[in-house]
Chains A and B, each alone.
Chain A
Amino acid sequence: MNYIIEAKSAYYEYTNVKALQDVSFTISPNEITALVGPNGSGKTTLMRSVAALSSLQSGNIFIDGLDTIDYPREIHQKIGYLSDFFGLYDELTVAQHLEYAARSKNIASSEIEEISKNTLELLSIHDLNKRKVGELSRGQKQRVGIGMAIVHKPRLLILDEPASGLDPEARYKLSELLLYLQNKGMSILVSSHILAELEDYCTELLILKDGKLVEHTKLKNTNIESKKTKIRIKFLGNINKEVFDFMESQKVVSEIFADKNNTLEYVFTGEEIDKINFNRQLFINGYPILELSEPQADFQKEYLKSINRI
């Protein structure tokens, strides 16, 4: 399978600190991956290594099949990168920023106007075209930064702490924008401290601690080819053995887990029609079902569990 990011035993050491130690993971295309971890856990080093801005001392990171050590320049063309400070020039206008970005990314002069116009419309900042960036709000600046990062239509967009300092409305707009870019086929790697906000749009979670990858969790299903779904059923009263036996006899059901609140969680691996038939069978069997739902991952819980091992 082709991964957009494939890290194999990534290792990076500063003079007296091991920033990344044996970090391995794969990210499929079209995912929005959250990279979280405490300060000094190696998030920025990992992001810079993925962006081919820092060279690993051992191990490899492949972007769309290309090794970051051997092909950094080629990888830069496949990536859009936005740092936490957006990297803008206060004295230039929004239009000048986009023209500069487009020219610096080797976009033909004849296409620059069209591309700039489309990017401004996509980011809903076409009315700011002639304004100097220094006069814009943080949310607007961020949009200009994202515009510069996506002007060449990258395969992978890397965002370092994009939500910090944004008001709720700007955060909501950011989340909408990222989901839109995902729908357009872009893969996104985003680091943030605001876990609740990541929950809205991220499909995968990477947790780093002391330079080591402690968790890699799939949160939502975005892969069309995959049919795995996590389901939760809440029963009235205790779950009896008959329910377990029935579940275990089903080929489309795996990873069954019951908790103290009369709740059962399992992974369903069939087609939609199988799901309809399976649910119908549950009710025909007369099990006292109160609720049947797809549980949303709790970022905060996952994160704290991995970091503190609670």
Chain B
Amino acid sequence: MNLTWWNRNPEFKKYLWLELTNQRLLVLFTAIIGIILCVIASYSGAEGEQIFSVLSKVSLLGYFFLTIIWGSKLVSESIITEINDKTWDWQKMSSLTPLQLMVGKLFGSSIYTWLGSLLCLFCYFGSSFFMENAEKELRFGLVIVVIGLLSHSLALMWSLWVVGKNVVKKKLKANFFIFFIVLFISTYLMFNSFSTNLSTLNVRWYHIDFKFLNFFIFVLFYFYVWSLVGLYRKFRHEMQFRNSSKVWIAFLFSCLLFKIGLLIHFDLISIIEKALLILISASFLGVFFFYFLFFTETKNLIQIRKVTNTMQSKKYLNLDYEAPLWLVTFGFALFFLLITGIFSFFVPVNQLVTEKITKDYSTLGLCFGAIICLVRDFMFVIWFILQNKSPKSEGLALTILILFYTVIAYLLFSVTGSSLVLAFIMPFMAIKSWIFILPGLIQISILFFMLKSFSLFSKN
């Protein structure tokens, strides 16, 4: 009986059959070894360290191309191809576990490029030992390995998101160029930052001092683990397992804990002000992730009806499974904005803000203004989607909202010449944030009456 671990993961084994044919392996190893030998031959007369320096750069470039570009492409296409070739339904109906499928897709679909990358990494680490700044090079090697892993994980997440957004379509196109542009820019910025003074900086996190590079490895790994958790949940969803929203809430709190670690060591402010800073951070995270999910996740009448019916039947515990994540995050943001507003009302905050800000803004006013703003945007988008019933209505709603916050705000400001008028749009741009509350409430009331015409409760 053959009990090798890939035999226990049929999905991974399938990719071994598909990807690792003798012909392809021969081409890969010949190409990589050929390039390495060419580099060595070209610099045969040069000093030892120069050869190793060039070799490490070429290996790094090879790794970047094989893992980050080609590997990410293969991983991102792994599910889209299954859908287009009509094999995805079969996989969803198999006895494969979400974990088996995730590991199979993540590492199986890119196994060919990983083999090539391993050769490149071997060459990179090998040549790093002979270089002047060996320790830094080795750490940098570790960074790029984690970046490779993270890019694959994000690419798969992206394609699962595309699948989730296009459940009705029979043929999918992932438009990965957007993903690759983001990936390319972020990798370029990262490479650039290491070559500058950034790498010499120290970062303080929960009173622990990290070298920038070490902290960067830690951050990448931290978010890589979370991206795997997210992927696992996406696969569970695809394979019709129910997901609890507790894991998402845990992610939000872990982001908060991470952020607190960067803020907590400011010794100049009091404990109460630190507490307020934490609450503001939580509110900001809630608002940020709410808008992010609200415009990336699917929203439709069926989803809303599921939630309203669950509430109507008073099965509140089921909301843990039925409520979409954008709605959970909406609750998270509202809760922390409310707590922050109340907290700031009872606690005098003088050191935290400058005199100008203290004069113009009130934390309480800002928090309540933000709550109204959030509710207004939420109601508007839901109303717009229900009104238009078109697959493009989500994108249109986002565009209108962006125009509202930028062009309309700018025009109003230009025409009137008064920043006071901005208070009718949002609390943050207007002086005296309290002014937004009344117009905000009027806008919510209008949207409430517009939403009332839709049957948000299922007849059944």
Does A58 count as interface, using CB distance less than 8 angstroms?
yes
Q: Does B211 contact A (CB under 8 A)?
A: no
Q: Are B94 and A105 in contact (CB under 8 A)?
A: yes
Residues in B58-105 with C-beta less than 8 Å from chain A: 85-87, 89-96
Report Cα–Cα, A13/B18, bound state, in Å.
Answer: 38
**A76 and B87 in contact (CB under 8 A), knowing A59-B460, A103-B13, A104-B11?**
no
Q: Does A92 contact B (CB under 8 A)?
A: yes
The chain B residue with its CB closest to the CB of A109 is: B1
The residue on A at minimum CB distance from B95 is A106
B94 touches A88 (CB 8 A): no
Chain B nearest CB: distance from A116 CB in Å?
13
Q: Is A283 an interface residue (CB 8 A)?
A: no
Residue of A nearest to B3 (CB): A109
Residues on the B chain within 8 Å of A110, using CB: 1
Q: Does B183 contact A (CB under 8 A)?
A: no
Distance of A84 Cα from B85 Cα, bound (Å): 11
For residue B48, CB closer than 8 A to chain A, the reply is: no
B contact residues, range: 20 to 34
Interface presence of A51 (CB below 8 A) = yes
Q: Tell me if A299 is interfacial: C-beta within 8 Å of chain B.
A: no
* Cβ distance A289 to chain B, nearest Cβ, rounded Å: 53
Task: Collect the chain B residues with CB atoms within 8 Å of residue A148's CB.
Answer: 90
Whether B7 sits at the interface, judged by CB under 8 Å, is yes
Residues in A neighbouring B239, C-beta threshold 8 A:
73
- Residue among A73, A103, A110 with the most chain B CB within 10 A? A103
| Majority DSSP secondary structure for residues of B touching A | loop
A88 x B87 contact (CB < 8 A) = yes
Residue of B with least CB distance to A58: B460
Does B95 contact A105, Cβ atoms closer than 8 Å? yes
User: B302 contacts which chain A residues (CB < 8 A)?
Assistant: 13, 57
**Least Cβ–Cβ distance between A54 and chain B, in angstroms:** 8
Using CB atoms, name the residue of chain A closest to B2. Answer: A109
Chain B residues closer than 8 Å to A268, beta-carbon distance: none
Which chain B residue lies CB-closest to A80?
B93
Knowing A15-B391, A109-B2, say if A87 contacts B89 (CB, 8 Å). yes
Q: A89-B18, A92-B18 are in contact. Are A104 and B95 (CB under 8 A)?
A: yes
Determine if B17 and A92 form an interchain contact, defined as CB atoms under 8 angstroms apart. Answer: yes
- Determine which of B7, B11, B18, B168 lies in contact with A109 in the assembled complex, contact meaning CB atoms within 8 Å: B7
CB-based contact A16/B86 at 8 Å: no
Tell me the minimal C-beta distance from A37 to chain B in angstroms. 18
User: Among the listed B85, B86, B240, which residue makes an inter-chain contact with A73, where contact means beta carbons less than 8 Å apart?
Assistant: B240
Which of B14, B86, B300, B391 contacts A100 (CB under 8 A)?
B14
Task: Tell me the bound Cα distance from A104 to B2 in angstroms.
Answer: 16
Q: Shortest CB–CB separation between residue A114 and chain B, in angstroms?
A: 14
B 297-318 contacts with A by CB, 8 A:
300-302, 305
For the complex, give the distance between the alpha carbons of A14 and B390 in Å: 11
Asked whether B10 is an interface residue with its Cβ less than 8 Å from the other chain, the reply is yes
User: B86 touches which one: A11, A55, A77, A84 (CB < 8 A)?
Assistant: A84
A9-B459 Cα distance, complex, nearest whole Å: 13
Tell whether B173 is near chain A: CB-to-CB under 8 Å: no
When C-beta atoms are compared, the residue in chain A nearest to B306 turns out to be: A57
B351 interface residue (CB < 8 Å to A): no
Task: Scan B1-26; emit 1 where CB is below 8 A from any A CB, else 0.
Answer: 11100010011011001100000000
In the complex, B265 has a CB within 8 A of chain A:
no
CB pair B458–A58 under 8 Å, yes or no, is yes
| Known contacts A73-B241, A104-B96; 14 further A-B pairs (Cβ under 8 A) | A13-B302, A53-B93, A55-B240, A57-B302, A57-B458, A76-B93, A81-B93, A88-B87, A89-B18, A89-B87, A92-B18, A103-B10, A104-B91, A104-B94
Listed A/B pairs (9) with beta-carbon separation below 8 Å: A14-B168, A57-B458, A58-B458, A73-B240, A79-B93, A84-B86, A96-B14, A103-B13, A105-B94
**Residues of A participating in the B interface, judged by any CB pair closer than 8 Å:** 9, 11, 13-16, 48, 51-53, 55, 57-59, 72-73, 76-77, 79, 81, 83-89, 91-92, 96, 100-101, 103-106, 109-110, 148-149
